[in-house]
Amino acid sequence: MHMRRRNHVTVSGRPGGPVVMLAHGFGCDQHMWRLVVPLLERDFTVVLFDHVGAGHSDLSAWSRERYSTLDGYTDDVLEICRELALGPVTFVGHSVSAMMGVLAAAREPEAFAGLVLLAPSPCFIDDPATGYRGGFSAEDIEELLESLEANYLGWSGAMAPVIMGNPERPELGEELTNSFCRADPGIARVFARVTFLSDNREDLAKVTVPTLVAQCSVDAIAPPEVGAFVQDRIPGSRLVTLNATGHCPQLAAPEETAAAITDFVEALR
């Protein structure tokens, strides 16, 4: 029960159905899945949770030591799976949470029926030596982090609409801005460094469970080359490009996102 309180775990949907576990990205919480959840609950058991430091999680459980790398978050994912004991789950990780799923499935593959990596990026920084394109130069990322650390609220207001995309729907950018601004700035600064400085390219090949890589057709944060790289490095994985634009298809195109998840889970049966 400590784990359930710590991560504000909620379980809904069809009892006994295939289990789908939804993990949110940086600056968000489980509320960001609200448009997708009703579309999944009809067929699946749906598990939602907040990363420690986000949403209604127990902020007192956060420590810089535990959450200064993705390993602490990965430990939480595996603890939730063990505590709920619902059997192998299909883990849907958005953005940075996609790499948490990669790490968790590499460590305990028996806990997972499959992975859906939604708008994933194993490394945001370009690596000219290998030809890898993450979308940002090292200087870009350092400038981004310096701006975030100097004025988190101002950074949120400027960056959230860029991350969301869909400028013709400003309400989406406003929602993401508000989500960022609800986060504890001190915790967000640490999580931002974890998000934007992690390099999990070498971990992709360790995944042995069925995997769907779902990228958006236009994404300022994770360009198409990144999705192709992830699919190429995970043995047997499949890549689908959503018509959705921006980095948060669960808000911008919930029906299409839910359909991609549903088709993948159904194919695992």
Q: Could you confirm whether 232 is annotated as catalytic?
A: no
Nearest Cα residue to 157 out of 174, 134, 136: 174
Q: Rounded CA gap, 56 and 219, in Å?
A: 28
**Catalytic-role residue among 8, 24, 51, 247:** 247
Q: CA torsion angle for 238, 259, 254, 240 (degrees, to 10)?
A: 20
Partner residues linked to 242 by β-bridges: 216
**Catalytic-role residue among 29, 50, 94, 95:** 95
**Catalytic-role residue among 29, 51, 219, 237:** 219
Place of tokens 């007192």: 60
Q: Could you confirm whether 247 is annotated as catalytic?
A: yes
Q: Could you confirm whether 12 is annotated as catalytic?
A: no
Q: Rounded CA gap, 130 and 126, in Å?
A: 9
Query: Does residue 117 sit in helix, strand or coil?
Result: strand
Strands 211-218, 89-94: pairing kind? unpaired
Nearest Cα residue to 55 out of 176, 182, 194: 182
Contact at 8 Å (CB) between 160 and 173?
yes
Residues that are catalytic:
95, 219, 247
